[in-house]
């Protein structure tokens, strides 16, 4: 528990770890060496393979995804994600908008969808901050790497769908923002990160955060 595995998330998911809730931002086409439109089928099949292996005990998965432009077209990734999750038996529970407060560029929009899916028996704590439809949070960087999302933003989801001491899993944890949010809200975490350099940055960031937290006690 409270560990980041330096490996493909598919390998981590084969470890039969127990976790209560899943939240993450999936890699974009480029990070997988794929091209929008041309490689849509391969990209969506890869997503379905990963998502089908997620087994949160509380039956809720939150996915943060930005649409993007490609050859003057909008690639509506959030719609594709919902189609995949519906195919796997999940219903869309909540759709929020994260306003990134960052400059728009040629390829990506300055907002993202925060999509929560559930199936079977699940619980929502209906927390106050989760009820708002638009969440303004700055898009930040750590040690030169962009956060998938700010800890304060994903903490809204974690607090809404879990209880203290629950375990949260992020299959694409990157520089550890989900883990930071878990520590801030008295939750535990597991994560997967394929890139060793990024994994080391995440672990160093978590160590620094924990040392600072102890100094403030």
Torsion of CA 172, 112, 122, 130, to 10 degrees: 120
pLDDT per position as a tens digit, 129-172: 898 999 987 766 655 566 568 899 999 999 999 999 999 999 99
Q: Which of 175, 196, 206, 149 is nearest to 23 (CA)?
A: 149
**Domain count along the chain:** 1
CATH code for the domain of 43: 3.40.50.150
Domain of residue 53, residue span: 3-215
In three-state secondary structure terms, 192 is strand
pTM: 0.92
Helices 151-161/177-184 angle, 10° precision: 60
- For 48-100, write each residue's pLDDT tens digit: 999 999 999 999 999 999 888 888 888 889 999 999 999 999 999 999 999 87
Place of tokens 């039956």: 59
68 pairs with which residues across the strands? 75, 108
> b or e along 64-74 (b: 16 or more beta carbons within 10 Å of the residue's beta carbon)?
bbbbbeeeeee
Counting Cα atoms < 13 Å in the Cβ hemisphere of 106 gives 3
């Amino acid at each position: 528990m409270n560990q980041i595995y330096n490996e493909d998330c598919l390998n981590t998911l084969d470890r039969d770890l127990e976790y209560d809730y899943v939240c993450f931002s999936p890699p974009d086409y480029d990070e997988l060496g794929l091209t929008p439109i041309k490689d849509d089928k391969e990209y969506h099949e890869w997503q379905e393979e990963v998502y089908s292996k997620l087994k949160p005990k509380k039956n809720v998965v939150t996915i943060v995804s930005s649409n993007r432009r490609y050859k003057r077209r909008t690639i509506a990734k959030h719609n594709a994600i919902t189609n995949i999750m519906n195919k796997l038996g999940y219903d869309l529970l909540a759709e929020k908008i994260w306003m990134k407060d960052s400059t728009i560029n040629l390829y990506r929009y300055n907002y993202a969808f925060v999509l929560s899916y559930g199936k079977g028996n699940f619980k929502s704590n209906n927390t106050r901050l989760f009820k708002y439809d638009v969440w303004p949070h700055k898009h930040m960087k750590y040690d030169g790497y962009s956060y998938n999302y700010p800890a304060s933003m994903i903490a809204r989801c974690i607090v809404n769908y879990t209880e203290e001491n629950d375990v949260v899993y992020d299959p694409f944890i990157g520089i550890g923002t989900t883990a930071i949010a878990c520590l801030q809200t008295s939750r535990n975490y597991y994560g997967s990160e394929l890139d060793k350099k990024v994994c080391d940055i995440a672990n160093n960031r978590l160590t620094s955060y924990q040392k600072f937290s102890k100094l403030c006690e």
